[in-house]
Amino acid sequence: MHKLVILIESSEEWQAAEGFWPEFLHLVEGMPGLRRETTSRVERRLLGANYALAHELFFDTLADAETAMTSSNGRLAGSLLQRMTGGKLALFFADHKEDDLENILKYRKPEG
């Protein structure tokens, strides 16, 4: 699985335009190949850049993610995102792997 990760910096532009977030979500949710999405609002920065929000869009393959970005909805969402953030964001593709605790515990050595 691959994902498009959007990290939005905390800024005056973002605070002023955050009301457009539902419109952005509507656009990305119409992108072809989208499997799921997550939004995380940053509550406390521990280190690094001052991000306000992380949004992730999940796709089966990198090619699916690239196709989604070049779709009509993808281009409109990208344009809106640039206006909302004033370009103060990070955007990247990531190869996503995850595991659940039940499976992880199967491989833990017993204590003692």
What tens digit of pLDDT does each residue of 33-58 get? Answer: 999 999 999 999 999 999 999 999 99
- Looking at the DSSP assignment, which residues form a beta bridge with residue 72? none
Domain range 2-106, CATH architecture: 2-Layer Sandwich (3.30)
Instruction: Locate the domains of the chain by residue range.
Output: 2-106
Angle, CA of 84, 89 and 92, to the nearest 5°: 125
Token duo for residue 58: 């999940």
CB-CB neighbours of 25 under 10 Å? 14
Q: What share of residues in the chain are helix, strand, coil (percent, to 5)?
A: 40, 25, 30
pTM for the model: 0.87
**Residue of higher predicted confidence among 104 and 38:** 38
